[in-house]
Amino acid sequence: MTKITMIAKQLLGAAVLALISSTSHAQMQGKMPVKQLSVGIYVIQAEVAATPAEREQGLMLRTKMGNNEGMIFDFGAPAGVCMWMKNTLIPLSVAFIDIDGRIVNIEDMQPETLDSHCAKRTVNYALEMNLGWFKQKNIKPGMKIEGLPLK
């Protein structure tokens, strides 16, 4: 084996190890704390993303989510909020929610896109669910999410 071939194999091995390590890290992170929310007759098991690091990670690199599972982003104070789908592998719908728990607007988001999906006014929360979940359940702007605030 030539020296160049040996170096190439070592580099390939290092790249594979780095990929496995980053995937394992994402899997080890696991789920964030879960809070039960509800809207109408529907109960949601929502992971809570409350810190800047948790909100930045969101549902990135996840490959699936249960039917009534989601992620609630707590911004801590009213804010102008936009979401995007960088490194997010599953299609999602997001409901932007005000301080009173009322849905302001709902947007559908496609995987691995950089399109901005924004609240129509300042909100305290954003709830991500599987794509179409809100529509399938006939949940619309103005309806109230129970179980907020998260504290």
Say if 142 falls within a structural domain. Answer: no
Q: Are residues 67 and 98 in the same domain?
A: yes
Q: Are residues 23 and 37 in the same domain?
A: no
Q: Are residues 62 and 116 in the same domain?
A: yes
Say if 121 falls within a structural domain. Answer: yes
Characterize 107-133 residue by residue with b for buried, 16 or more Cβ atoms within 10 angstroms of its Cβ, and e for exposed. Answer: bebeeeeeeebebeeebbbbbbbbbeb
Average pLDDT, the chain: 86
Nearest to 122 by CA among 88, 75, 86: 75
Q: Are residues 22 and 37 in the same domain?
A: no
Please count the CA atoms within 13 angstroms of the CA of 34 that sit on its side-chain side: 11
Which residues make beta-bridge pairs with 73? Answer: 49, 126
Reported pTM: 0.80
Task: Summarize pLDDT for 72-130 with one digit per residue, the tens.
Answer: 999 999 999 999 999 999 999 999 999 999 999 999 999 999 999 999 999 999 999 99
3-state secondary structure of 42: strand
Range of the domain at 22: 1-30
- Give the CATH number, domain containing residue 78: 2.60.120.1140
